[in-house]
Amino acid sequence: MLEDHAKIAALIHQSEDYLERKKLQKIVYILQRFGCPFNQKFHFYFSGPYSEELSIQLDELCDFGFLIEDWTSRSDQAEQCAYRISEAGEDFLSHYKDELPKTPLIQRVMGQKTSFLECTAMLLFFDQLPQNAAFDKVRTLEKNDEVCSFLEPALTFLSELRAARAADVSVF
C-alpha cells in the first residue's frame, strides 16, 4: 500500500545526505522516463516537470516521521527544503528492501547538480520536439542562465543514459 512512498524514501536514503526538494522532483521525473517504476504524474511548472503527488507524498513521509525535513534560507534564493531519512524511515524501508534497488543509473542521475538536472528534465519534457525547437523552448521558459548553459551537456547526458539503458535492459 505504501510502495510509492517506499520508493521515494529509498531514493532519499540512497543519497546518503540531504536531498533537496527541487532536485528530487527532477530525479524522479528523469528516472521515471527511463523506466524506473515511479507512478507520479508530472506537468510543466516554473522550473520544469513537477509532480504535486510527489510533494504530497514527501509531506506524508515527513508526517509519518520517516523523513527529516530541513528548511534553509539562502541569500540568493527563497527558502529551500531538503530531506534525509530518519531512523523510523530506515525501519520502514526494512519492510520494502526490494522496492528501489541501488543501480548505477540511479547513482549517475543523483550525482548531478540540481540546475543540470533541471535542464535535463526540461529537455526530456520537450523530447517530442526537434532538438533546436526544444533548446529554444528551454531558453524561452528558463530565465536562469546557468540552467540554459547545460543544454548541450544535458543532451549528451541523455544520450549516455539511453545507451546505458539499451545495453542493460534490467536496469530497474
Stronger pLDDT, 17 or 153, i.e. the higher one: 153
Cell of 15: 543519497
The tens digit of pLDDT for each residue in 45-65 reads: 988 999 999 999 999 999 999
The tens digit of pLDDT for each residue in 76-85 reads: 666 788 999 9
Work out the mean pLDDT of the chain and round it to a whole number. 90
Predicted pLDDT at 98: 81
User: Is residue 29 predicted with pLDDT exceeding 90?
Assistant: yes
121 pLDDT tier (thresholds 50, 70, 90): very high
Residue 85, Cα to own-chain centre: how many angstroms? 16
74 pLDDT tier (thresholds 50, 70, 90): low
Amino acid at site 62: C
User: Is residue 134 predicted with pLDDT exceeding 70?
Assistant: yes
Set out the domains of the chain in order of their start, with CATH numbers: 3-167 (1.10.10.10)
Cell of 165: 539503458
Rounded to two decimals, what is the model's pTM? 0.91
Predicted pLDDT at 34: 93
Predicted pLDDT at 142: 87
Predicted pLDDT at 73: 73
Least Cα distance to 62 among 8, 106, 110, 17 occurs for 8
The tens digit of pLDDT for each residue in 139-149 reads: 998 888 888 89
- Dihedral angle of Cα 115, 116, 118, 122, to the nearest 10 degrees: 140
Mean of pLDDT values over 32-56: 94
